[in-house]
Amino acid sequence: MAEGTVPLTIRIRRFNPEAGPDPWWDEFTVRMEPSDRVLDALHEVKWRHDGTLALRRSCAHGICGSDAMLINGTNALACKVLVKQVAPKVTVEPIRGLPVLKDLIVDMEPFFKGYEKMLPYLINDQDPGDRERRQSPEQREAFDDTTKCILCAACTTSCPIYWSDDAYVGPAAIVNAHRFIFDSRDEGARQRLDVLGEKSGVFRCRTTFNCTEACPRDIKVTKAIQEVKRAIMFDRL
Amino acid sequence: MTVEHTYDAVVVGAGGAGLRAAIEASGQVRTAVISKLYPTRSHTGAAQGGMCAALGNVEEDSPEWHTFDTVKGGDYLVDQPAAEIMCREAVDAVIELEHWGLPFNRTPDGKIDQRRFGGHTRNHGEAPVKRACYAADRTGHMILQTLYQQCIKRDVRFFNEFCVVDMLVDGDRAAGVVAYELATGELHVFRSKAVLFATGGYGKMFKVSSNAHTLTGDGPAVCYRAGIPLQDMEFFQFHPTGIYKMGILISEAVRGEGGILLNGEGERFMERYAPTIKDLAPRDMVSRAIYQEVKEGRGVDGKDYVYLDVRHLDPEVIETKIPDVTEFARIYLGVEPTTEPVPIQPTAHYAMGGIPTDTDGRVVTGENERVIEGLYAAGECACVSVHGANRLGTNSLLDIMVFGKRGGRHMAEYAAGAAQPAVETGAEKAAAGDLQRLLSASGSENVADIRDRLQDTMFDLAGVVRTAQGLEKLQQELGALRERYGKAVVGDKGRMYNTDVMEAWELGALLDCADTLVAAALARDESRGGHFRDDHPLRDDASWLKHSLAYRQDGGVRLEYKPVKMGPYVPMERKY
């Protein structure tokens, strides 16, 4: 257990359309336990220094996906980075590629639209009967990694293609397509691969691996994208 | 400016219960789901270990055994007919999720795999049974994702980042809700024939909690202010294995897979408290055992924590069956569970109490359970009561699936045949006034300071162990906090994403829930399930085999009681 607090200077990129059209930088110094999260430090700022600071958060332990932000230039969840990893100074900005609405809050609608384009639900019109469909542990393992996605957008907003190309669905959408395409129970692969084979689809990916590095759930995002590409090229499904 | 909407049915909250209700209702009647978060941020996603159902895929099992365990686990305060429904419908609920694509772990022959969980036993307590269906240690995440996916497929209408702050009534009927839109600061009036609350728990009234920041009892508070009682509020579950100081949940699945608890002397102390099922005793008992060990000086290094130990487990089991919680220990404690024991302490986890409902999710009031037309509740914010005085692990995921579905179905049937209630113009005025008061207050108090104090004192005096003296002190403290709350200043005066005013409003909801919890806990001078009174350590069925109902009354809380619905199981001493 860590004893005693340490100073942490937080530089935050601010934006408030009610205050003016331009973003600005603010700096706060707070005292935190080294084992505290960066989220705790942002709360300390909001609760005791500047109540106007806006951010999203909920679970505070990396499972709800609310608090993806750019922390020292890398996408991460503020609740999964500890003060001792960044002290004495940390820079926090909103994730890139989505319109900033206020401070660290971005417009998530385009992100969820890309997700919905993938038909993210099991497609299988056959009557399964009144018991479970069978699936072997090996078949289950084939898509295990991509079931971990929490839709935090850390991967998608770390992708340089996504920043520059509005039409590209982005890594998170492909991860979620992968989750169904490689599920032995699903029969919608053709429909999804048609969407992914379009110009805005999976072949926009240039394999920069930013997404894999950004994923707070350690999903091998680039590998999943490559598997989807191969599925389209070799029509394996 | 106020925006008006008209729906047949409105669901408040988009966790498991709300989404399951929405799936049921959306194809039948015009349905809207209002959530203060994006649906996938809901705390159902944090549930880890599993969802119990007597599938019998791995070992012999029966819904009747599950019902018995649920009743005994709840220390006989469970309404037995409700538990019977839940455990019977559990099997279909799991199969339904599988058909919707939930990626359960599998047995070698491709069936849904099952594992052990606390308090779930074979043949009325003989030995632990493998009943929990699971997807690694992210079962809740997979349930939330699967339900949201089904909502996308059905084109369910969501209003995301809208916080419901008031309820509308037409005489004795529910008539809709008022919601605050975070993005714009505007109030929206949703006129609706039926309203279902599914807002989750209120664990953020405690300092050490597994709950999300957003779990502030909004639904219960809104109902309470509208004159509806809150049931069994004194029963709050402290999960034994929270990460020390932070409260982050370490799933019971860890013990289900063979993990054990050790005190500061390296002793497996649960052998003394529950000789038959040991570390897999129900949560209330394990939390009290930890409290006792610490009190008697057997915490680690004399401090207020003990160890959860998995060093003896096959690393393969750790990596494939409990990977996420293993990672939590690595990230937040810097502890490597394969070689070091993990420091844990009880963490405020789950509200057994809440908005009283029948088994169709209809909100009922009073001793005679009068139905409030058009008003429904499901999930943690509701009290059916299937958890009684202590919920068994995995039964919350089951509860949201079974009663979310039943509530949604009844709501849709009701709304299909009902006329649109009358809502007067200006129905949002009360809520607007409340928010305006918070925004324009010019006192000297800080919302975070008041909340900190609430959390500290609630955890100390209304936690695992309680006394009359402590609860009386706490009542005074709550009075003082309410006074300070009246002078609290909100720093953000703007309209867009004013999460500052939102947090201030949420604190008001927490204070209301805390009032009812403490009043009911003080009155109940016995010990039962999650409510342990050090000054009355025994269960007292003659006086207290009854549900509490807490009503708001000028200057405080008024308590009434109603009988427990019994069934085949006669209360007996709770030994494991």
Distance (Å, whole) CA B160 – CA B40: 10
Nearest residue on chain A to B501, judged by CA atoms? A51
How high is the pLDDT of residue B443?
86
Which residue of A lies nearest to B452 if distances are taken between CA atoms?
A47
Confidence check: pLDDT of B314 > 80? yes
Angle of the B429-440 helix axis to the B499-523 helix axis, nearest 10: 100
Q: Is A187 helix (H, G, I), strand (E, B) or coil?
A: coil
Alpha carbon of residue B167 to chain centroid: 21
Instruction: Walk across the sheet containing B306-309 and list its strands.
Output: B236-243, B342-351, B306-309, B260-262
Out of B101, B153, B213, closest to residue A57 by CB: B213
B104 in contact with A at a CB cutoff of 8 Å? yes
> A64 and B490 in contact by Cβ < 8 A?
no
Which residues neighbour B221 within 8 Å (Cβ) at sequence distance 6 or greater?
B508, B509, B510, B512, B513
> CA B124, B126, B132: angle at the middle one, nearest 5?
75
Q: Which tokens is B476 given?
A: 């005074």
Find how far residue B92's CA is from the centre of its chain: 23
Q: 3-class secondary structure for B78-104?
A: CCHHHHHHHHHHHHHHHHHHHHCCCCC
Q: What is the mean pLDDT of residues B223-232?
A: 98
Contacts of B212 in chain A (CB under 8 A): 58-60, 64
What contacts A35, CB < 8 A, 6 or more positions away? Answer: A1, A2, A82, A83, A84, B332, B333, B334
Judged by a CB distance cut-off of 8 A, whether residue A108 touches chain B is yes
Sheet containing strand A89-93, edge to edge, reads: A24-32, A6-14, A89-93, A68-71, A74-77
- Going by C-alpha positions, the residue among B451, B438, B437, B444 that lies closest to residue B510 is B451
User: Best mutation site among A15, A36, A61, A67 for testing chain B: the one with the most B CBs within 10 Å?
Assistant: A61
ipTM of the complex: 0.97
Least confident segment among A104-108, B426-430, B453-457, B458-462: B426-430
- Supply the pLDDT for residue B424: 87
Q: What's the pLDDT at A1?
A: 41
Summary mean pLDDT of chain B: 97
pLDDT digits (tens, 9 = 90+) for B336-370: 999 999 999 999 999 999 999 999 999 999 999 99
Helix (H) or strand (E) holding B4: strand B2-12
Q: Is A121 in contact with B42 (Cβ distance < 8 A)?
A: no
Q: Is the bond leading into B251 cis (omega within 30 degrees of zero)?
A: no
B chain contacts of residue A148, beta-carbon cutoff 8 Å = 138, 141
CB distance A131–B343 less than 8 Å?
Answer: no
- Of all residues in chain A, the one with the smallest CA distance to B133 is A132
Give the pLDDT mean for B449-460.
98
Q: Does B209 touch chain A (CB under 8 A)?
A: no
Rounded to a whole number of angstroms, the distance from the CA of A235 to the nearest CA of chain B is 23
Q: Do A47 and B446 touch (CB under 8 A)?
A: yes
Shortest Cα distance, chain A CAs vs residue B270, angstroms: 25
Asked if B546 and B555 count as a contact pair (C-beta separation under 8 A), the reply is: no
Angle at B220 between CA B214 and CA B225, to 5 degrees: 120
| Domains present along chain B, CATH in parentheses | 242-345 (3.90.700.10)
| Cβ contact A1–B245 (<8 Å) | yes
| A55 burial type by CB count under 10 A (0-12 exposed, 13-18 middle, 19+ buried) | buried
For the segment B381-407, what is each residue's pLDDT rounded down to a tens digit? 999 999 999 999 999 999 999 999 999
Question: Which residue has tokens 């916080």?
Answer: B163
> CA of A60 to nearest chain B CA: how many angstroms apart?
7
B400-429 pLDDT, tens per residue? Answer: 999 999 999 999 999 999 999 999 889 999
Contact B446 A48 (CB under 8 A): yes
Q: Is the pTM of this model over 0.90?
A: yes
* B334: three-class secondary structure by DSSP: coil
Pairing between strand B114-122 and B127-133? antiparallel
Per-residue pLDDT at B524? 98
pLDDT, residue A200, reads 85
Q: How far apart are CA B145 and CA B398, in angstroms?
A: 16
With a cut of 70, which residues of chain A have pLDDT below it? 1-3, 235-237
- Residue B384 DSSP class: -
Which chain B residues are closer than 8 Å to A3 by Cβ?
Answer: none
Give the type of residue at A88.
Answer: P
Average pLDDT over residues B304-316: 96
| Per-residue pLDDT tens digits for B124-181 | 999 999 999 999 999 999 999 999 999 999 999 999 999 999 999 999 999 999 999 9
The predicted pLDDT at position A153 comes to 98
* pLDDT, tens digit, 9 for 90 and up, residues B39-89: 999 999 999 989 999 999 999 999 999 999 999 999 999 999 999 999 999
- The pLDDT score that the predictor gives to residue B482 is 97
- Cβ separation of B40 and A150 shorter than 8 Å? yes
Candidates B92, B333, B497; nearest CB to A105: B497
Residue B264 has pLDDT above 50, yes or no: yes
Q: Does A142 touch chain B (CB under 8 A)?
A: no
Nearest to A18 among B324, B333, B496 (CB): B496
Q: Which two tokens stand for residue B202?
A: 């209120």
Name the closest residue on chain A to residue B249, using Cα atoms: A61
8 Å CB contact between B71 and B545: no
User: For B514-553, what is each residue's pLDDT tens digit?
Assistant: 999 999 999 999 999 999 999 999 999 999 999 999 999 9
Q: Any idea which residues of B carry the catalytic annotation?
A: 283
Which structural domains are found in chain A, ordered by start? 6-106 (3.10.20.30), 109-234 (1.10.1060.10)
Inter-chain touch A66–B41, beta carbons under 8 Å? yes
**Cα distance between residue B336 and residue A81, in whole Å:** 17
Q: How much of chain B exceeds pLDDT 90, in percent?
A: 97
Spatial separation of the C-alpha atoms in residues B231 and B226, rounded to whole Å: 15
**CB atoms inside a 10 Å sphere around CB B429:** 14
Query: Of B200, B242, B212, B236, which Cα lies nearest the Cα of B514?
Result: B236
DSSP state of B236: E
Chain B contact for A140, CB < 8 A? yes
**Residues composing chain A:** 237
Nearest residue of B to residue A82, measured between CA atoms: B332
Interface of A with B in 174-233 (CB under 8 A): 180, 183, 185-186
